[in-house]
């Protein structure tokens, strides 16, 4: 079976998948965005059109570039059509081992033997996803952040039988379409960024539920404190600057005793309290009441605001 290096396939092109397909199309690839039903295919088309409209409104693309990107996306309900001769395949199905294992089996019926098959998962392990695969050596995790057409990070993880060439080819593909790949040296649940995120979110819940602050204030503290710095550089580089002449090592030694005090007082629970979801939702609804439409006061306007801010930040980083 012939491999077409300019053809990419995105399978189960829902909320994450449509954005992946758009990112690959913007990177110059011909992309087959596959859905299982006509209804979900129409939703994918609508989401793609809406995101392209946002990119035009924010002066990222002109009409000609937007139209060209849309023409490079081929919407289909046929798995065979999407996978046949594809040079790269990204599956974005449900976060469920059985679903992904079954889909991998279907994909292998049509994909060229040397095509990398990447799985978009928030924390499942490739060793288990590829357990029943005929060629697990070419299967990797390609974990994006939502929305992938704007957020550059992509985490690559191999399974026990993944070969190095598959990870390297994945790295080249994602770099080629303007993403920032990181390759994990071993499998861990949740990978890098989600583990950092959930550790922080645990402390957010702890602070609110202990009466230290409101949901709104914990969000404000993050946004206008560390969040601003994190949008520029990582925590180790921030501490390198914070440590003065001693760098990060000097800072850790100097503030280490305070770190220890904070850590002893922080949350260490292994599951979120059952009532936290309702508390968080109520807090978010109160928070939205204090926001204008310009900065997002419902889910739709909040997403639009997020995208505008991401675009401006990416411009500062030279990524747009």
Residue 1 has pLDDT above 60, yes or no: no
- All residues at 6 or more sequence positions from 55 whose CB lies less than 8 Å from its CB, including other chains: 61, 66, 311
CA–CA separation, 127 and 162 (whole Å): 8
> 5 falls in which pLDDT band (50, 70, 90)?
confident
pLDDT digits (tens, 9 = 90+) for 23-55: 999 999 999 999 999 999 999 999 999 999 999
**Domain boundary assignment for the chain:** 4-183, 193-289
**Which tokens go with 128?**
């288990």
Report yes or no: 11 and 142 within 8 Å, Cβ to Cβ.
no
pLDDT for 287 = 97
CA–CA separation, 69 and 52 (whole Å): 9
Nearest residue to 143 (alpha-carbon basis) of 96, 107, 190, 85: 190
Tell me, yes or no, if the pTM score tops 0.85: yes
Nearest residue to 11 (alpha-carbon basis) of 99, 70, 72, 97: 99
> 200 falls in which pLDDT band (50, 70, 90)?
very high
CATH number of 193-289: 1.10.1040.10
pLDDT digits (tens, 9 = 90+) for 67-92: 999 999 999 999 999 999 999 999 99
Report yes or no: 33 and 74 within 8 Å, Cβ to Cβ.
yes
Helices 193-209 and 276-289 pack at an angle, to 10 degrees, of 80
pLDDT for 71 = 98
Instruction: Work out the mean pLDDT of the chain and round it to a whole number.
Output: 96
**Which tokens go with 78?**
């046929």
What stretches of the chain adopt beta strand conformation (E)? 4-11, 30-34, 73-76, 86-91, 116-119, 139-144, 153-158, 180-183
Mean pLDDT of 116-132: 96
Mean pLDDT of 97-118: 96
pLDDT for 10 = 98
Q: What is the 3-state secondary structure (H, E, C) of 149-186?
A: CCCCEEEEEECCCCCHHHHHHHHHHHHHCCCEEEECCC
> 4 falls in which pLDDT band (50, 70, 90)?
confident
pLDDT digits (tens, 9 = 90+) for 165-180: 999 999 999 999 999 9
Q: Give the dihedral sign, CA 158/162/163/167.
A: negative
pLDDT for 320 = 87
Mean pLDDT of 132-149: 97
How are beta strands 139-144 and 153-158 bridged, if at all? antiparallel
pLDDT digits (tens, 9 = 90+) for 244-282: 999 999 999 999 999 999 999 999 999 999 999 999 999
| Fold annotation for 4-183 | Rossmann fold (3.40.50)
Which long-range contacts link 169-176 to residues 24+ away (Cβ below 8 Å)? 169/88, 169/116, 170/88, 170/116, 170/118, 170/140, 170/142, 173/8, 173/88, 173/116, 174/142, 176/27
Report yes or no: 9 and 92 within 8 Å, Cβ to Cβ.
no
Residue 281, classified by CB atoms within 10 Å of its CB into exposed (0-12), middle (13-18) or buried (19+), is: exposed
pLDDT digits (tens, 9 = 90+) for 204-256: 999 999 999 999 999 999 999 999 999 999 999 999 999 999 999 999 999 99
Percent of the chain at pLDDT > 70 equals 99
Which long-range contacts link 251-259 to residues 24+ away (Cβ below 8 Å)? none
């Amino acid at each position: 079976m012939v491999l077409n290096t300019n053809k990419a396939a995105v399978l189960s092109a829902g909320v994450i998948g449509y954005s992946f397909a758009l990112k690959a199309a913007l990177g110059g690839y011909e992309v087959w965005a596959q859905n299982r039903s006509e209804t979900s295919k129409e939703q994918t088309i609508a989401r793609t059109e809406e995101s392209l409209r946002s990119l035009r409104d924010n002066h990222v693309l002109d009409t000609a570039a937007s139209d060209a990107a849309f023409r490079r996306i081929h919407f289909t309900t046929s798995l065979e059509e999407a996978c046949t001769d594809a040079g790269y395949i990204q599956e974005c199905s449900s976060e469920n081992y059985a679903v992904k294992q079954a889909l991998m089996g279907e994909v292998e019926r049509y994909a060229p033997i040397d095509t990398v098959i990447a799985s978009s998962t928030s924390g499942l392990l490739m060793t288990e996803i590829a357990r029943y695969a005929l060629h697990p050596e070419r299967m990797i995790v390609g974990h994006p952040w939502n929305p992938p057409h704007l957020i550059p990070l992509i985490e690559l993880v191999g399974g026990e039988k993944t070969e190095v060439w598959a990870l390297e080819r994945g790295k080249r593909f994602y770099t080629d379409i303007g993403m920032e790949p990181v390759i994990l040296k071993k499998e861990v649940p949740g990978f890098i960024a989600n583990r950092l995120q959930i550790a922080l979110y645990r402390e957010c819940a702890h602070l609110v539920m202990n009466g230290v602050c409101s949901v709104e204030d914990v969000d404000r503290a993050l946004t206008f404190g560390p969040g601003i710095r994190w949008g520029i550089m990582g925590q180790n580089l921030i501490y390198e600057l914070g440590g003065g002449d001693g760098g990060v090592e000097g800072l850790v030694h100097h503030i280490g005793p305070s770190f220890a005090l904070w850590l002893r007082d922080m949350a260490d629970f292994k599951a979120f309290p059952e009532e936290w979801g309702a508390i968080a939702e109520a807090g978010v609804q109160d928070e939205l009441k204090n926001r204008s439409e310009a900065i997002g006061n419902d889910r739709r306007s909040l997403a639009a605001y997020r995208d505008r801010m991401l675009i401006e930040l990416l411009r500062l980083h030279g990524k747009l």
